[in-house]
Amino acid sequence: MRVHTLLMMVCLLLVGFQLQAADPPSKPPELSSIAPGAELWRDVRQRDQDVTGTTQVRSPGADVLINVSGQAWREYRMQELIPLSGAAIAIVLFVILLFRLVRGRIMLENGRSGLRILRFTTNQRVAHWATAILFSILGLTGLTLLLGRSFLIPVFGAEGFGTIAAGAKFLHDYLGPVFVFALTWLFVLFVRDNIPSPKVDLQWLLKGGGLFGKHAHAPRYNAGEKLWFWLASIVGLAVIISGLVLDFPIFGQTRSTMEFYHWVHSIAAIVLIVVSFGHIYMGTAALEATFEVMQTGYCDSNWAKEHHDLWYDEVKDSEEPVPQQQAQPDPGARQSTDSA
Amino acid sequence: MARMKFYCDAERCIECNACVTACKNEHEIPWGVNRRRVVTIKDGEPGERSLSVACMHCSDAPCAAVCPVDCFYTTGDGIVLHDKDICIGCGYCFYACPFGAPQFPEAAAFSSRGKMDKCTFCAGGPEEDQSSDEYKKYGRNRISEGKLPLCAEMCSTKALLAGDGDVLSDIYRKRVINRGASAFEWGVNNSKIPG
């Protein structure tokens, strides 16, 4: 007990000496700031918005000392956009391949009828193919700029890919504005028959569009085609507006404006690209006697009965025999592999 | 090997813009392109500070990360350079850069910007050192002549420092110690404070 108290007293004494020694003898008056520069940098860096000042340089963003949005954009592009868009494309292609393996090529149940019906006018087909070709070029050049560094530099080398990418950028920037006209033309020609008819469309969707069994009733365009039409129109509008902002950096757009529209443009475009794979597959290799409809404008009567029965009922009076010299083999039959 | 750095001392920069002028003259930089600029914060108010900003030659450079054609490279001295023959002028480096360093000679319709230009730490580009090709595309290669960047070399107040990061740290540390010290404080030797 006594030893314990003694130890405690010794400890307290030692602590007392320690405190006395650490105490500075005389403190100078408070300095306004030890390192004013550090305060400046703290102000500049620890903000969630740009710190602007004045500068003699005249260009957009020159007065911003530290651009805080750049890091977020870098992380979006490198850690989200590139890996996720690559994965989305791979998954959709895999699903299409799986569907092909499960369902095979879907043939007409009753074969060809020898009768045909006009489904698309020349104007409609030209609008479709103009949009389709422009979409393909824009999609491929866009994907080249997005994923080329990962996939094409190992093949062509940095110099070779630099030339390819410069060409891709040129095509993308000059054909983008043309796509605006093509998509508008397509929208005007096709919107009438793509107005949703809730009852029929819902039934079609509930039956899975006949993908996995019996055919579902469908008017001129089934619910799947209508969904693609409206997706292409609405998301396409987002791609167009954002693309025009990015393509014309002549109105003093700031970096954060460009980053925002790049974010819109990339997400919308990837959505359109992956869904277009489904549309391309369904329109070419998936179904017998389908590709020729957009190619020639005419569809086989049996094709109309099976895929668009409600429309067939409306137009069956206009059936005509297929002219002998024009009877052509199913172009889809030559494509054994998935062109998607 | 040295790790090259810029440091701008906000306590010394007097916003004379001589670094900007020296850079433009040394490299014959076209109108509208500014590899270096001086930004003044709180201009005309108490606490006004100016900083000279250019490419900071980052270790993990955002420009190099986002470049779709991978045209950036880092030299053995830690200087971030780029190849104008590969650059496609997309502007992504400018979006990602915290310092606004990448510059473009044009801002025209259809996203025409021309090849990106930025501070090279006076180290030229991938062309042969001191060749006329290198001078035309990237400006003078002072590093290959054994000289440091001109902006820092001729800074009148020595606010802008350029060189080996360790040496710059030592210089700046000494400045901070002297600034933060009081002559009456313990451990400060009056005779060592520069007059």
What three-state secondary structure class fits B101?
coil
CA distance A136 to chain B (A): 19
Q: Token digits for B51?
A: 């900083």
Buried/exposed A290-307: b ≥16 CB within 10 Å, e otherwise: bbbbbebbbbbbbbbbbb
Greater model confidence, A11 or B35: B35
Which candidate from A34, A68, A165 shows the least CB-CB separation from B69?
A165
Q: Token digits for A245?
A: 């902002």
Calpha distance A187→A246 (Å, rounded): 23
When mean pLDDT is compared across A51-55, A327-331, B29-33, the lowest value belongs to A327-331
pLDDT band, residue B10 (cuts 50/70/90): confident
Q: What angle do helix axes A153-190 and A223-247 make, rounded to 10 degrees?
A: 120
Greater model confidence, B192 or A318: A318
pLDDT at A131 over 90: yes
Going by the DSSP 8-state scheme, the letter that residue A27 receives in this structure is P
For A215-225, the pLDDT digits (tens) are 889 999 999 99
Q: Compare all CA atoms of chain A with the CA of B8 and give the residue at the minimum distance.
A: A37
Which candidate from B37, B51, B179 shows the least CB-CB separation from A62?
B37
pLDDT at A17 over 60: no
For B11-23, the pLDDT digits (tens) are 899 999 999 999 9
Say whether B65 and A74 touch across the interface (CB within 8 A): yes
Say whether A53 and B182 touch across the interface (CB within 8 A): no
- Which of A70, A56, A60 lies closest to B56, judged by CA? A70
Sign of the Cα pseudo-torsion (A179, A181, A186, A188, in order): positive
pLDDT band, residue A329 (cuts 50/70/90): low
Which residues in B lie closer than 8 A to residue A149 (C-beta atoms)?
A: 67-70
- The interface pTM score, or ipTM, of the predicted complex is 0.89
The per-residue pLDDT for B195 is 44
Q: Compare all CA atoms of chain B with the CA of A81 and give the residue at the minimum distance.
A: B66
The per-residue pLDDT for A337 is 42
Cα A53 from chain centre: 37
CA A156, A162, A167: angle at the middle one, nearest 5? 105
Kindly state the average pLDDT of the residues A275-291.
95
What three-state secondary structure class fits A79?
helix
**CB of A173 less than 8 A from some CB of B:** yes
pLDDT band, residue A333 (cuts 50/70/90): very low
User: In percent, how much of chain B has pLDDT > 90?
Assistant: 78
Going by the DSSP 8-state scheme, the letter that residue B117 receives in this structure is B
Within 10 angstroms of residue A238's Cβ, the number of other Cβ atoms is 17
pLDDT at B45 over 60: yes
Chain pair A-B, CB pairs under 8 angstroms: 153
Which fold is adopted by the domain A114-321?
Fumarate Reductase Cytochrome B subunit (1.20.950)
pLDDT at A53 over 60: yes
Give start and end residues of each alpha helix (H) in chain B: 18-27, 62-66, 92-96, 132-138, 150-153, 165-180
Within 10 angstroms of residue A110's Cβ, the number of other Cβ atoms is 12
When mean pLDDT is compared across A7-11, A124-128, A266-270, B117-121, the lowest value belongs to A7-11
For B102-131, the pLDDT digits (tens) are 999 998 999 999 999 999 999 999 999 999
Residue A12 region by backbone torsions, left for phi larger than 0, else alpha for psi between -120 and 50, else beta: alpha
- Which of B12, B52, B50 lies closest to B35, judged by CA? B52
Which residues in A lie closer than 8 A to residue B182 (C-beta atoms)?
A: 28, 31
pLDDT at A325 over 70: no
Which candidate from A43, A56, A146 shows the least CB-CB separation from B38?
A56
Q: Residues with Cβ < 8 Å from A157, sequence gap 6 or more?
A: none
Domain B4-192 has CATH 2.102.10.10: no
Say whether A162 and B88 touch across the interface (CB within 8 A): yes
Which residues in A lie closer than 8 A to residue B51 (C-beta atoms)?
A: 40, 65
Give the 3-state DSSP-derived string for A279-331, with helices as H, strands as E and coil as C: HHHHHCCCECCCHHHHHHCEEEHHHHHHHCHHHHHHHHHHCEECCHHHCCCCH
Calpha distance A111→A106 (Å, rounded): 11
User: What is the spatial order of strands in the sheet that A320-321 belongs to?
Assistant: A298-300, A115-118, A320-321
**CB of A217 less than 8 A from some CB of B:** no
Say whether B108 and A250 touch across the interface (CB within 8 A): yes
pLDDT mean across residues, chain A: 87
The per-residue pLDDT for B6 is 97
Tell me which amino acid residue B175 is.
R
pLDDT at A311 over 70: yes
- Which of A186, A263, A262, A182 lies closest to A225, judged by CA? A186
Say whether A68 and B98 touch across the interface (CB within 8 A): yes
